[in-house]
Structures are given as structure tokens and as C-alpha cells.
Chain A
Amino acid sequence: MRRLWPSSLSGQIALLMAIALLVAQAINFALALRERERLVLTQVSAPTIARLIDAVERDRAGQPVERRFHHLPAWRGIRLNQQSVIGPNMRPRKDIADRARAAFAELEIPVLRIEAAEGDIHRGDRLQRMTQARRAVIGDDRGPRPTLVVTAQVAPGRWISATAKLPYRDNRFIFWLIAQTLILYAVMLVPVLWIGRRIARPLQQLTGAVESFRSAEGGTAVPESGPGDVRRLIAAYNGMRTRIAGMLDEKDRMLGAIGHDLRTPLASLRLRVEGIDDEGERDRAAGTIEEMNRTLDDILSLARLGRPSEAETRVDLGALLDSVVDDFQALGADVSLAEAPRTTVTIRPTLITRAVRNLIDNAVKYGGRAVVAVGSEDGGVVTTIDDDGPGIPEDRIEAMFQPFTRLEESRSRETGGTGLGLALARAIALQHGGRLTLANREGGGLRARLWLPV
């Protein structure tokens, strides 16, 4: 059932229309049928009752009841029997019996009993056989026509019956219903699909715009089209988009100002540090300034990630990893890269470089060394960075991705870092439609997996 239910707006409207139409048609047909049956019965039963009355009166006057046409009996549908002709397989019609009784009472003709029923009277006579044979020849498979019988007991052992043929009960009613419904449905489907599309298309565009909303500058406003409700929704979305873009602009300006205003004093400090005579002291001071600058960089990058200034380009990921690893090796860090096959990905190279650098930096800092490898998986490429450190308790892994979170609670700067590195790396991965996960390796150490779509 769930599978048959369409998910699209047009599909649902069309299906609902079809069901509603079918139900309405069925009710309509049922009512029409009932009306027709009632009409037919009235039309058929009134003359039948009249003939019965006529026959009973003739019987009372001593005239013959059955009129014979040659040797065929009951041509006029009047028969005289010793018992009721209504068999057990016939359907009693109490309503008609009541009408007949009322008619007899009105004319003050006394009868003992009156019964009425419809169904097949199997007479087995020649006429019936002939009729059946004729039907077989012309391919009429509707069977014998049902008969209405109204019978009156005028004296014990003397029954007079009037019979009349009823119209066929139409068994093909259901086919008519379906055929008519289909025709109606075909006529209605065109406007239904049209209105469905008219609503659905602008909604689809809106959905696409909302889904792809990563940065306010990318993409244009959604054109306002469709019915009024949809138009208002789109207009509201466009307005929101403009407001978000304004807020992001504001944020960018603020960040730019902060970046500049903090870097200038840092630069000044860095110059003055050169005046310190003690070489060890000077290097430590320079290191601290460098770290402040890196933190500032991380904060600015994280904040600016929504509107990257760099364009996406196709990049050889293996070469990118190799260049990062080389830069680490140049600084004397224990970082190695397994032979990387040429893998082309579409990325913002500066950002991915930064993410990889942060991951390797963590591995070296907390795990002593980093082993980098690249491979394909899940229709993308996965870069793994393994270290030999103590790993992270399972329940703390997810928390590590929160900005300013580090494993040791003391936030001592002994091991360096602000806890922004992982948050930034994950944000960069997500921004590229990828993902970043951490897991403890079997046998110790931590593995970071950076998956990127190809």
C-alpha cells in the first residue's frame, strides 16, 4: 500500500481524484440503479396486478381464465394452478404483494391469499426451449429473463397467477461504472495534472534553492510563480535569503576588521621579539605569537566557511597529501604517506589542505606520528590518518568535534591548540559534501577518516 501511494503532489492529487471519482460514480450508479429498478417494478407490477384482477373477476364470473394461443399455454401470462407457482428459489416481493392486496381490497374482490415473487419459473415447455435455442444462436448469454409472478388463491386448491417478464438485471453494471469513470477521469486528469504542476514546479525550485543554500551569494532568487500561496512562500524565502546574505556580509566585514586589527599588533610584537637577547626566550616568544596567529586563522576560517572565497577546482588529492606531508617532514615531524594513486577530486584546495594539515598536526601532537593513506570507498575517496597515541574514549569522540573542546579538561596550553582544529576540519569536510570521523584503531592509536565525494 505504501508503495502504491505516490509521493509527489501531482501524483497524490491525481490518485485522490481517481478514488473520489470512483466512489462518487459508484454512489451515483447505485442510486440510479435503485431508481430504475423501482420504476421498472412499478411499470411492470401495475399491469400485472390489473391482469390478475381481470382474471380473478372472469373466474368469479365463470369464464375461462387461461387464454390459449393455439396449443401454447398462458400466452397472456395468466395461469390456473392447484397450488402456488412460487417456488422456494424465487425471491418474494412483499411490496408488490401489498400493492396487489390493496388493489383487491379497493375493488372489494375477496381472495384467500396473495403472494408475489420474482425469479425464474422453469416451465420446461416448448416456448421456453425455443427461446433458449434462439438465444444460443444469437450469442445472448444473459440466461432466461426473470419473471414477476403475482398469484392469488381464490379458493382452496385454486390459484390464479399473472406473470410478466422483468427487464434483465444488468450484470455488466460494474463495467459500465468503470468505463464511465475512466472517461471522466481522463477528462479531469488534464486539469488536475496542470494545476499540480503549476503548484509543484515552483515548490520544486524552492526546495532545490533551500537544499543548496550553503552560502547566500551562490545561486539567485527563486522566481515567483504558481498560485498565490506558493508565490507568497517564495517571496518570503527570497526575503529571508536577502536578510541572511546581509547578515553574512556584516559578519565578513566584522571578521575582516578583527583579523586586521589583531594581526597588526601581533606583527608589531613579533618584530619586537627579535630584540630579546636570550635566544631560547626569543624562540618561545615567537612560537607563542605564531600560535596566536594560527588560532586567529582558525577562528576566521571557521567563521568564513559559509562563504568561501576560493573556487572549486579539480585537484590531484594524492599530490595534495604528498605536499602537506612534505611540509611536515621539512619541519622534522614523523609523517609518512603510503604510495598514493592519482585521484582527482573537485575541491577547494586551500581548505582541504588546511583540514588535512589540522588532522596530521593532531596525530603528531597527540600520537607521536602520522601515517597517511588514501583509497577509494563508497563512490568517493577516503583519506586516513593514523597515529600511535592513546586514542580517545569512545564516549568522548563526538565531543571532540565541538569547537574549543580538547581531551584534557584543564585546557592547559602545554600541548598547544585551542580545540578548533577538528571543528574546522569537520566543517570543511561537510562544506565539500564529505564527512570526517574519528575511531580508535584496534591495537591502539586513533584513525581519522576524511571521506570526500568524487
Chain B
Amino acid sequence: MTDRPHLLLVDDERSIREPLASYLQKSGFRVTAVADAAAARQRLQGYAIDLVVLDIMMPGEDGLSLCRHIRETGEIPVILLTAKSEETDRIVGLEMGADDYVLKPFSPRELVARIKVILRRAGGGGSRQSAPESSSYGFAGWVLKAGERILVDSEGVTVPLSTGEYNLLLALVTRPNHVLSRDQLLDITQGREANAFDRAIDNQVSRLRRKIEVDPKNPMLIKTVWGGGYTLSTEVARL
């Protein structure tokens, strides 16, 4: 066994499967590519798979069903490929236990970045905060619904978040009362290929504070640790 993570790619569409497999190989992964769910189940039993990239729309057993099977039998993270952008499909996918999803047509670089984030999360954290995407977190009267990527206040009003704000808040909420440096936050929220500046994190933090703090000038939730970074200083309950 090499150090290279082993990915299982399941897509019935040859025109996607083959170029994607070769791109992922070039990006440093070991890739097993199969065309349907039956073959995927076989490989899952025969190999130590680190992550599954799964197309939702397949003839025969579809991706969602296979995803549920994977979730029931193990801890292997799943990224869904979907051609639909309908909100409901995303949420259904995440309820089935997928860790993330990518809309077709996707940038293969973005897919690689997401694979790396999830592998790092699964490998590093140990405990499977695994499906953070499918969970809800309650803190200080707020509920962050990771599956739907929305934040809801105590009166049930949705407070939309930008992609940057959402990633930052998810990082903080999954590690409450930990001090996270700007580098760590950049790394967690944007993947290794991020080329953002530290200021970007500061900017996002002040935006988030405007949305969730009672008094943004005197933050009680997202606190600045001098010389260290930021910390979410409140109890977080997984719902």
C-alpha cells in the first residue's frame, strides 16, 4: 500500500469517468473507476477505499441508494456528482449521508480541493465529524443547517451566508472553544490551493460578526485571540 489515497470513482458516463480518472491520478490519487453500483459494491469489499466519488444519476441502482449503503456499512466519505441544481436534490443527497456534492459541469481542480479537505478532515480529526454537511449545529440561539447551508435565528428567520462566511462559520462551529489561527482557518475553509490573504479571514470574521453578534463592535461569540486567531466562545450542540 502506498500513501496515496485510494479513490473509488463511480459514473456510468464514460466520457466523464475516463478523463476524470486520469485527472485524479495525475493529481496524486490512486483511482479505481467503475461504471455502476454493482461493480462499486464489489470494489468496496475488495479494497481499502478512502473516498468515493459518486454520480447520482445512473441506470440500475442510483447514486443515492449506493450512498446510503456506503453510509450504513462504513465510514468512507462520499462526494456526489450531480447534474441537477435543484435545491431539493442537494438536500436529499446530503441527508443520504454524502459529505459534499459537486454540480456538473465542475472544475476538476475544485473537486480535487474538496477531496483533499474531506480526506484531511476524516484522517486528521479522527472522530467522524464526517458528515458535517448533513448536520445542524445550535449555538447561542442560532441554528446552522449545514445540509442546506443556511443560518436560522431564534425566530425562524433565515440569514443567508456567502460561501466564505459559511465555510468560516462551519469551521468555527465544528471546533468550539478552540483557538484557530488565520492560517488554519484559511486551510480549513479554502483548501490547500487557496491563495487568499490573512486579511480575507479578518474581513469574513467582521462580516459574520455583523450578522450574528448582538453588538458587532463588542463580539461575544467570535472572539479575537491576540496573536493567535479566532475562537467561537459558546456551547455548540449538534442537533
Interface residues of A (CB under 8 A from B): 256, 259-260, 263-272, 274-275, 286, 289-290, 293, 297, 300, 309-310, 313-316, 319-320, 322-327, 330, 344, 349-350, 353
Contact with A along B82-95 (1 / 0, CB 8 A): 01111110000000
Q: In the complex, A334 Cα to B16 Cα: how many Å?
A: 36
A316–B162 touching, CB < 8 Å? no
Q: What number of B residues sit within 8 Å (CB to CB) of A?
A: 37
Interface residues of B (CB under 8 A from A): 13, 15-16, 19-20, 23, 57, 81, 83-88, 104-109, 150, 153, 155-165, 204, 207, 210-211
Nearest CB of chain B from residue A391's CB, rounded to whole Å: 29
User: Given A264-B15, A270-B108, does the pair A323, B160 have CB atoms closer than 8 Å?
Assistant: yes
Question: A353 to chain B: which residues have CB within 8 Å?
Answer: 160
B105–A289 touching, CB < 8 Å? yes
A263–B160 touching, CB < 8 Å? no
Q: In the complex, A313 Cα to B13 Cα: how many Å?
A: 37
Question: B87 to chain A: which residues have CB within 8 Å?
Answer: 309-310, 350
User: Given A264-B15, A267-B106, does the pair A259, B84 have CB atoms closer than 8 Å?
Assistant: yes
Question: B13 to chain A: which residues have CB within 8 Å?
Answer: 264, 267-268
A349–B158 touching, CB < 8 Å? yes
For A330, give the chain B residue with the smallest CB separation.
B164
B162–A323 touching, CB < 8 Å? yes
Say which residue of B23, B85, B162 sits within 8 Å of A324 (CB atoms): B162
- Looking at A265, A293, A319, the one whose CB has the most chain B CB atoms below 10 A away is A319
Nearest CB of chain A from residue B31's CB, rounded to whole Å: 13
For A321, give the chain B residue with the smallest CB separation.
B160
Q: In the complex, A350 Cα to B13 Cα: how many Å?
A: 29
A271–B156 touching, CB < 8 Å? no
User: Given A270-B107, A323-B165, does the pair A264, B158 have CB atoms closer than 8 Å?
Assistant: no
Q: In the complex, A291 Cα to B13 Cα: how many Å?
A: 22
Question: A268 to chain B: which residues have CB within 8 Å?
Answer: 13, 15-16, 19, 105
User: Given A268-B19, A272-B19, A309-B88, does the pair A323, B105 have CB atoms closer than 8 Å?
Assistant: no
Q: 17 new A-B pairs (CB below 8 Å) besides A264-B15, A330-B163? A: A260-B57, A264-B83, A267-B13, A268-B13, A268-B15, A268-B19, A269-B105, A274-B19, A309-B88, A315-B158, A316-B153, A316-B159, A323-B165, A326-B164, A326-B165, A330-B162, A349-B158
For B152, give the chain A residue with the smallest CB separation.
A313
- Looking at B85, B109, B204, the one whose CB has the most chain A CB atoms below 10 A away is B85
Q: In the complex, A113 Cα to B108 Cα: how many Å?
A: 129
For A268, give the chain B residue with the smallest CB separation.
B15
Q: In the complex, A448 Cα to B7 Cα: how many Å?
A: 48
Q: List 22 A-B contacts (CB under 8 A).
A: A256-B84, A263-B83, A263-B105, A264-B13, A264-B16, A265-B15, A266-B105, A267-B104, A267-B106, A271-B19, A271-B20, A274-B23, A309-B86, A314-B156, A315-B158, A316-B160, A320-B160, A322-B162, A323-B162, A324-B160, A325-B162, A326-B207
Q: In the complex, A13 Cα to B150 Cα: how many Å?
A: 55
Q: In the complex, A268 Cα to B150 Cα: how many Å?
A: 31
For B166, give the chain A residue with the smallest CB separation.
A323
Number of A-B contacts (CB under 8 A): 104
Say which residue of B108, B156, B204, B210 sits within 8 Å of A274 (CB atoms): B108
Question: B157 to chain A: which residues have CB within 8 Å?
Answer: 314-316, 344
Say which residue of A293, A324, A327 sits within 8 Å of B105 (CB atoms): A293
Q: In the complex, A290 Cα to B107 Cα: how many Å?
A: 9
Q: In the complex, A257 Cα to B157 Cα: how many Å?
A: 35
Question: A326 to chain B: which residues have CB within 8 Å?
Answer: 162, 164-165, 204, 207
A323–B85 touching, CB < 8 Å? no
Q: In the complex, A259 Cα to B103 Cα: how many Å?
A: 12
Question: A324 to chain B: which residues have CB within 8 Å?
Answer: 160, 162
B104–A266 touching, CB < 8 Å? yes
Say which residue of B85, B105, B150, B163 sits within 8 Å of A270 (CB atoms): B105
Q: In the complex, A275 Cα to B163 Cα: how many Å?
A: 28
Q: In the complex, A327 Cα to B210 Cα: how many Å?
A: 16
User: Given A259-B83, A326-B207, does the pair A264, B104 have CB atoms closer than 8 Å?
Assistant: yes
The 6 closest A-B pairs by CB, nearest first: A326-B162, A268-B15, A323-B162, A267-B104, A267-B105, A271-B19
